[in-house]
Amino acid sequence: MAISWEDQGIILAVRRFGEHDAIITLLTPTQGRHAGIVKGGSGKRGRSLLQPGNLVKAWWRARLDEHLGTFTVEGLRPFAADAMTDANVLAGLSALCAMAETTLPEREPHAEVYRHTLHLLEHLSMPGWEAHYVLWELALLRDMGYGLDLTICAATGTRYDLTYVSPRSGRAVSSGAAAPYIDRMLALPAFLREENAAVSTDNVSAADIAQGLALTGHFFETHVFRPHSRQEPASRARFVDRFKS
């Protein structure tokens, strides 16, 4: 008896399989990161639908649970097409999909990551989306068990003047407490400070985005990529480069 399920999902990756088919990886709210074959997915219709970032309705079927299985998909939201008109947005979308595809374990539900991912896709190209991308990476780290504490100084207990983060503990540090070790600290950009939580993210500077990406990038490197002898996705590195002065 075949095993099957249906869900909606965000396409994270697509690769050709044989002459006519494709293997896609989806991020779904209940099945997690899940791959499968789409018959005819390399054809003209399949290429337009099967783009990383697109939201689809998916039906998966396999004879045994451990098999790759096959997908039947139906388009819901063409986020990839929406991103094509802006090179920065397209770079952010590519980084988003690659980070989710390379960091999340297979077939484990990550409903919060899915919710944050869909929210970001729905707001791509809106003012402040770059800051929300950094917040998305923080949420991804948190869901994987490597959440940062940016609310209180690790040394003094104060909740104010938090300008740095310890590269070891992932906890915020105030300017005064960080002074003797400033060359070892990671910068905490203003838009990530709890005291500025109510401030709009619409006008976050490129320098602050670069600091935010350096912050999350350090902990992905420390906890996710280096322990598994991997490097960050090239698409994320290219996205980071866009904010370097």
- At 110 the pLDDT is 94
User: Residues with Cβ < 8 Å from 241, sequence gap 6 or more?
Assistant: none
The secondary structure of residue 221, as a DSSP letter, is I
Grade residue 48 by pLDDT with cuts at 50, 70 and 90.
confident
Query: Would residue 107 count as lying in a domain?
Result: no
pLDDT at position 14? 97
Within 13 Å, how many C-alpha atoms sit on residue 80's CB side?
20
Kindly indicate the confidence band of residue 46, based on its pLDDT and cuts at 50, 70 and 90. Answer: confident
Residues in the chain: 245
Region 116-129 average pLDDT: 94
CATH of the domain at 11: 2.40.50.140
pLDDT for res 197? 57
Would you state the pLDDT for residue 1?
67
On whether both 75 and 130 belong to a single domain, the answer is no
Residue-number span of the structural domain to which 31 is assigned: 3-79
Task: Tell me the percentage of the chain whose pLDDT exceeds 90.
Answer: 88
User: Do 173 and 234 lie in a common domain?
Assistant: yes
Q: What is the mean pLDDT of residues 138-144?
A: 96
In the chain, how many H helices and how many E strands?
8, 8
